[in-house]
Amino acid sequence: MSTNTVEHNRRRYDFSGIESVWLFGYGSLIYKVDFPYLEQRPAMIRGWQRRFWQGSHDHRGTPEAPGRVATLVEKPGAVCKGMAFRVSPSVFEHLDVREKNGYLRFSTTLTFDDGSHAEGLVYIATEDNEAYLGHAPDAQIARQIASAAGPSGPNADYLLRLAESLRALGDDCPHTFAIESLVRSADSGDRSSG
């Protein structure tokens, strides 16, 4: 599948007659809210785990030196915390472009902090998209993130802001925090040797 998923996403769902849709954010959608929303609530989805396995050629890297950003990988029993936004379907005109580098919209069940549930959508970059990088050791992922930058800024900023946001949500994401620790220690090592 092409990395540009805009048209594919626009064909996936018919929002006719729908006034609002829940959207689950687990990466930059948590902290970079550049879209209008009707309501915002912490939420989680089950059966998925956050992984830095998606290449970013358009925001946090370049085609020659892609960054790594979060996607979701299926894992039975896993819980992924994030932020849910109730949005007007018109918001997807913007978000489909923002998330165009390999991400597709999927239906999911969201669980809110009070135990209530709602159906919503989530953007996931699956392993069949051209920008998918897949599993690598944490140290390798950290090195790639520490060195990559793109039109939206350094890849490390994405990682560090996401880690801060997850802590604010009370989430314990060992994968994100392990990579954050490696990037921070590499950064402090660079400063002390310079």
SS3 of 150, please? strand
How many Cα atoms within 13 Å fall on the side-chain side of residue 111?
9
Per the DSSP assignment, residues forming a β-bridge with 48 are 74
Q: Where are the alpha helices (DSSP H) in the chain?
A: 6-12, 28-31, 92-98, 138-147, 155-168, 174-193
Tokens of 38: 């009707």
CB 71 within 8 A of CB 83: no
Q: Scan for tokens 């930058």, then name that residue.
A: 149
Among residues 99, 119, 164, 180, which one is catalytic? Answer: 99
The question of whether 130 is a catalytic residue gets the answer no
Give the integer Cα–Cα distance in Å for 35 and 21: 13
Among residues 140, 84, 129, 136, the alpha carbon closest in space to that of 109 is found at: 84
Catalytic sites, residue numbers: 99
